[in-house]
Amino acid sequence: MKNNTLKKFKSVGLLPKILLAIVLGIGCSFFFPNWAVRIFLTFNSIFSNFLGLFIPLLIIGLVAPGIADLGKGGGRLLLVTVAIAYLSTILSGTFTLASCSTVFPSLLGDGMSALGETDMSTTLMPYFTIEMPAFISVTSALVIAFMLGLTAAVIEGNTVKDLLVDIKDIVTLIIGKVIIPLLPLYIFGIFLHMGADGHIGAVLGMFLKIILFIFLLHVTVLLAIFCVAGLVTKKNPFKALVTMLPAYVTALGTASSAATIPVTLAQAIKCGVREETAAFSVPLCATIHMPCSILKITACSYAIALSFGLPHDFGTFMGFILMASITMIAAPGVPGGAIMATLGLLATMLGFDESMQGLMIAIYISIDSIGTAGNVTGDGAIALIVDHIRDKIKK
């Protein structure tokens, strides 16, 4: 009986587990004694230090093979597709940044100021912690990943590429078997801590406002991508968007771009994309086209930076958007993969501490499937543009 219950719990998706962890963390904070809260804070401290140790390896293990794979196809069409997908991601992040800087100061209001007064370091503390210093900085890991990926893409032989793939498999295994399963417990500890300190009201109010605003931006970005595709290809953008809706709905259920590729491919062909172009561009864009993922990360991180008084000027966040748009190319095909791939940048470029990173994970994963659905739907628009450019290149 116990084994069946455990199997059923394991089969539940990550999103329900995260939502359950948030509810339980808030509920338990009303009656848990301080000694019990500190037990979970001890786990969170150790888990956070493990993440700090693991992130440089994650960057090298995911970014390097991702870049190496992009170089396999060669040719102008590959470069054009990558450039369009990256530009779409950056423009989405820039639009989100401009929107958040205009709306958030008034939208978040009192909740922002109340959250900003929270000092998680002066309240309940863990019983002990285990230091796990990273073997290399995040910046150095990114540079090494770029060098290895670019080198592996051009040299003869497959030895280096096979090694990178093996490292990627190891990193993906650790994410899927260790980090993702422990995330609900980590989120539980964060909300238990905030509830015990009396800050949960401000956090939940901010959550709801951010999620609603992100959804509005999400719809706007998708309309903009398809309108651009319509202008380039002279096709009806709204008809194309409606045609791609089955891919959107499928991604809502799977929360995985990779798992939705067959549906995305079929719907892109129905939009008028030639089969050979769709077969090339859709799987590639499932990996590199992340407009709605960068939208969520930018909006959530801007709200948290604004609330906690961290630097949130245009230059700081644009640098973060440019780097995150590259790093997310390596995001593993698991729910929450994009936010896990950018944790290092959140810490080094934006100054996020453990509690802020925990808030980012909680908000991001709570709407993860929406972002994935937006990404794969936008892939249809990119496929339309690439198919049009392919004709121009042939001519």
> What string of DSSP letters covers 73-112?
S-HHHHHHHHHHHHHHHHHHHHHHHHHHHHHHHHHHHHHH
Confidence (pLDDT) at 90: 94
For residue 168, pLDDT over 70 is answered with yes
Has residue 335 been placed in a domain? Answer: yes
Which of the given ranges, 256-265, 277-286, 338-347, has the highest pLDDT on average? 338-347
More confident call, 323 vs 139: 323
For residue 203, pLDDT over 70 is answered with no
**379 neighbors 289 (Cβ within 8 angstroms):** yes
- Average pLDDT of the chain is 80
What does the alpha-carbon distance between residue 194 and residue 123 come to, in Å, rounded to a whole number? 10
Convert 89-107 to b/e letters by CB count within 10 Å (16 or more is b). Answer: bbbbbbbbbebbeeebeeb
Query: How many residues would you count in the chain?
Result: 395
Has residue 5 been placed in a domain? Answer: no
Which of the given ranges, 209-213, 230-234, 273-277, has the highest pLDDT on average? 230-234
Has residue 1 been placed in a domain? Answer: no
For residue 175, pLDDT over 60 is answered with yes
Q: Which two tokens stand for residue 210?
A: 């951010």
Residue identified by tokens 């019990």 is 36
Q: Which two tokens stand for residue 301?
A: 């991180």
What does the alpha-carbon distance between residue 17 and residue 23 come to, in Å, rounded to a whole number? 10
Has residue 234 been placed in a domain? Answer: yes
For residue 41, pLDDT over 70 is answered with yes
User: Binning pLDDT at 50, 70 and 90, where does residue 145 land?
Assistant: confident
User: Binning pLDDT at 50, 70 and 90, where does residue 121 land?
Assistant: very low
For residue 333, pLDDT over 60 is answered with no
Question: Exposure of 283 by Cβ count < 10 A (0-12 exposed, 13-18 middle, 19+ buried)?
Answer: middle
For residue 80, pLDDT over 60 is answered with yes
* Average pLDDT over every residue of 5-21: 66
User: Binning pLDDT at 50, 70 and 90, where does residue 325 land?
Assistant: confident
User: Binning pLDDT at 50, 70 and 90, where does residue 197 land?
Assistant: low
For residue 30, pLDDT over 80 is answered with yes
CATH number at residue 145: 1.10.3860
Q: Which two tokens stand for residue 39?
A: 């037990």
Confidence (pLDDT) at 287: 75
* Inter-axis angle of helices 75-116 and 200-233, nearest 10: 150
Count up the domains in the chain and report the number: 1
What does the alpha-carbon distance between residue 340 and residue 328 come to, in Å, rounded to a whole number? 9
Confidence (pLDDT) at 73: 46
Q: Which two tokens stand for residue 202?
A: 């401000």
User: Binning pLDDT at 50, 70 and 90, where does residue 380 land?
Assistant: very high
For residue 215, pLDDT over 80 is answered with yes
C-alpha of 229 from chain center: 24
> What region does 12 belong to: left with phi over 0, alpha with psi -120 to 50, or beta?
beta
According to DSSP, residue 328 is labeled: G
Please report the sign of the dihedral spanned by the C-alpha atoms of residue 54, residue 43, residue 305, residue 217. Answer: positive
To the question of pTM greater than 0.75 for the whole model, the response is no
Q: Which two tokens stand for residue 92?
A: 């989405």
Please state, for a pLDDT cut of 90, what percent of the chain lies above it: 16
Confidence (pLDDT) at 239: 93
109 half-sphere exposure, CB direction, 13 A CA radius: 4
| Backbone Cα Rg of the chain | 21
User: Binning pLDDT at 50, 70 and 90, where does residue 318 land?
Assistant: very high
For residue 122, pLDDT over 50 is answered with no
For residue 68, pLDDT over 80 is answered with no
More confident call, 223 vs 204: 223
Compute CA distances 165 → 43, 152, 154, 330, whole Å: 31, 11, 16, 12
Which of 226, 275, 272 minimizes the C-alpha distance to 248? 226
**Model confidence pLDDT, tens digit, residues 81-118:** 888 988 999 999 999 999 999 998 887 765 554 454 54
What does the alpha-carbon distance between residue 288 and residue 63 come to, in Å, rounded to a whole number? 11
Residue identified by tokens 């290809």 is 233
Amino acid at 375: N
Confidence (pLDDT) at 147: 82
Confidence (pLDDT) at 74: 44
Q: Beta-carbon neighbour count of residue 31 at 10 Å?
A: 7
**342 neighbors 324 (Cβ within 8 angstroms):** yes
**221 neighbors 292 (Cβ within 8 angstroms):** yes
What range does the domain containing 319 cover? 12-394
Where are the alpha helices (H) located in the chain, listed in sequence order?
2-11, 14-28, 34-70, 75-116, 138-154, 159-174, 180-196, 200-233, 237-243, 245-254, 261-270, 275-288, 291-307, 314-327, 337-341, 343-349, 354-366, 368-394
